[in-house]
A and B are shown apart, each in its own frame.
Chain A
Amino acid sequence: MEIEENFLYTKEHEWVSIEDNVATMGITDYAQEALGDVTYVELPEEETEVEQFEQFVSVESVKAASDIFAPMSGRVVEINRKLEDNPALINKDCYGKGWIAKIEVSDMDESTNLMSAEEYRNYLESLS
Chain B
Amino acid sequence: MSTEISLHNTPLADEHVALGAKMVGFGGWNMPLQYESILAEWDYNRKTASIFDCSHMGEFLIKGDAVSSGLDNIVTQTIVDMPLNACRYGAMLNDEGGIIDDLIVYRKAQEEWMIVVNAANIEKNARHFRAHLNSHATFEDISFKTAKLDLQGPMSRDILKVLAPGIEALAYYTFGHFQISGIPCLISRTGYTGELGFEIYAPWEKCKEIWKTILKNATVKPTGLGVRDVLRVEVCYSLYGHELDETISPLEAGLDKFLDGKKGFIGRQALTQRHCKRSIGFISSLSRKSPRAGNKIFDANSKEIGIITSGTFSPGLGIGIGIGLMDRPLMETGNTVFFGDDKNKAEARIAKRPFYKHGSLKS
Contact = CB atoms under 8 A, between A and B. Distances in A.
A60 interface: yes
Nearest to A64: B292
A65 interface: yes
B37 A37 contact: yes
Contacts, number: 40
Nearest to A65: B292
A40 B38 contact: no
A17 B58 CA distance: 53
Contact of A39 (B34, B226, B288): B288
B227 to A, nearest CB: 8
A1 to B, nearest CB: 15
B39 A60 contact: no
Contacts of B315: 62
Interface in A1-42: 36-37, 39-40, 42
B37 A60 contact: no
A91 B170 CA distance: 42
Contacts of B289: 40, 42, 60
Nearest to B313: A39
Which size class do B's interface residues fall under? Answer: 10 to 19
B290 interface: yes
B327 interface: no
A62 B312 contact: yes
B229 interface: yes
B31 interface: no
Interface in B278-326: 287-290, 292, 312-313, 315, 320
B230 interface: yes
A39 B290 contact: yes
A89 B46 CA distance: 23
A61 B22 CA distance: 16
Contacts of B313: 39-40, 60-62
A62 B288 contact: no
A98 interface: no
A40 B289 CA distance: 6
A70 B5 CA distance: 37
A4 to B, nearest CB: 23
22 contacts: A36-B34, A36-B37, A36-B38, A37-B37, A39-B290, A39-B313, A40-B288, A40-B290, A40-B313, A40-B320, A42-B289, A60-B289, A62-B38, A62-B226, A62-B230, A62-B312, A62-B315, A63-B226, A63-B229, A63-B312, A64-B292, A91-B37
Interface of A: 36-37, 39-40, 42, 60-65, 87-88, 91
Interface pairs A-B: 7 shortest CB-CB: A39-B313, A40-B288, A37-B39, A62-B38, A40-B289, A37-B37, A62-B313
